[in-house]
Amino acid sequence: MFENLKLASLGENKKTIIKIGDLKIGKDFLLIAGPCTVESEEQMLQTAIEVKKAGAKMLRGGAFKPRTSPYAFQGLGLKGLKILQKVGKKTGLPVVSEVLDTKDVSWVCEYVDVLQIGARNMQNFSLLKEVGKAGKPVLLKRGMFSTFSEWLNCAEYILNEGNPNVILCERGIRSFETYTRNTLDLSAVPVMKELTHLPIIVDPSHGTGKISLIPAMSLAAVSAGVDGLMLEVHYKPQEATSDKEQTLSTKEFAKLSAKIKKLQTFMKKL
């Protein structure tokens, strides 16, 4: 099942550590926070200041949004990336943003520290090859209909182009359940530890679609040994232009972050 993997499989390989400034992804816990979408400088700055204070190590914000409806807000594009970069520099947080199209990869690299490949594009092989050549770390989300084998083969596409810096992100898969937005497959954490040397993080925001479920699933992911979390956070969540039903306030994020730290201290003693 995994025999095609040459570069992504664990084998004798050492765990991948990705360095961005002082941050060592795969070694230090990677707490990524920020809104679904970049809306304004004020929104990004206020959110970034608060999440940094609460322990976030990276800022997220979408400038190109893969929306179900073509009439929904598609993101600010270049303007959004400029805001994200400016706020990242001001607060000292590295930034991650999704790239949707091969033609944008090279110039998006000028604005972000990590390129995100969204669930809907996991198997966009030309995009994977392009980010494989980009020389920036890549956060590769699991496709919503993808097996572990398919996901790891997509990581292999990026590695095969000479980019060793891939972060895997479990964000839930489609199942028959409708109460949650997706079915967050936390088994991905121990499974990936078994199969690959690449860091694995979890996104409980898209994984559940519900604010009320995010703390429990975040702590469960930490208990499973996850290398990091990606959480949607907004300084005024009720005004978020997208995904407000799964977006934590900065206060809720701070509370969760403190619990995560306590759990990590406890786990070290296990």
Look up residue 193 and give its DSSP letter. Answer: H
Contacts 24+ apart (CB under 8 A), 122-130: 122/146, 122/150, 122/151, 122/154, 123/150, 123/154, 125/154, 125/157, 126/102, 127/99, 127/100, 127/101, 127/102, 128/154, 128/157, 128/158, 128/161, 129/157, 129/158, 129/161, 130/102, 130/105
User: Which is closer to Mn ion, CB of 62 or CB of 94?
Assistant: 62
How far apart (Å, rounded) are the C-alpha atoms in residues 56 and 27? 15
Residue nearest to Mn ion (CB): 36
Q: Which stretch binds Mn ion (CB under 5 A): 35-43, 113-121, 213-221, 254-262?
A: 35-43
User: Which is closer to ligand PEP, CB of 2 or CB of 123?
Assistant: 123
How far apart (Å, rounded) are the C-alpha atoms in residues 217 and 214? 5
Tell which one of 243, 250, 253, 256 touches Mn ion (CB under 5 A). Answer: 243
Give which of Mn ion, ligand PEP, none residue 98 binds (C-beta under 5 to 8 Å, depending on kind): ligand PEP
Task: Tell me how far, at minimum, the Cβ of 158 lies from Mn ion, in Å.
Answer: 22
Q: Which stretch binds Mn ion (CB under 5 A): 29-37, 113-121, 137-145, 163-171?
A: 29-37
Task: Tell me how far, at minimum, the Cβ of 42 lies from ligand PEP, in Å.
Answer: 20
Q: Which stretch binds Mn ion (CB under 5 A): 69-77, 118-126, 214-222, 236-244?
A: 236-244
Which has the closest alpha carbon to 34: 45, 23, 18?
A: 45
Task: Tell me how far, at minimum, the Cβ of 205 lies from ligand PEP, in Å.
Answer: 8
Task: Tell me how far, at minimum, the Cβ of 208 lies from Mn ion, in Å.
Answer: 12
User: Which is closer to ligand PEP, CB of 7 or CB of 213?
Assistant: 213
By CB under 5 A, residue 213 contacts Mn ion: no
Residue nearest to ligand PEP (CB): 118
User: Which is closer to ligand PEP, CB of 122 or CB of 222?
Assistant: 122
Dig out the tokens for 93 from the structure: 């947080």
Dig out the tokens for 81 from the structure: 């990336």
By CB under 5 A, residue 159 contacts Mn ion: no
Residues that bind ligand PEP (CB under 6 A): 36, 62, 66, 98, 118-120, 141, 171, 206
User: Which is closer to Mn ion, CB of 9 or CB of 47?
Assistant: 47
Task: Tell me how far, at minimum, the Cβ of 66 lies from Mn ion, in Å.
Answer: 9
How far apart (Å, rounded) are the C-alpha atoms in residues 59 and 44? 9
Give which of ligand PEP, Mn ion, none residue 170 binds (C-beta under 5 to 8 Å, depending on kind): none
CA atoms lying within 13 Å on the CB side of residue 241: 16
State whether the Cα torsion 69-70-72-76 is positive or negative: positive
State whether the Cα torsion 223-229-232-236 is positive or negative: positive
Binding site for Mn ion (CB under 5 A): 36, 243
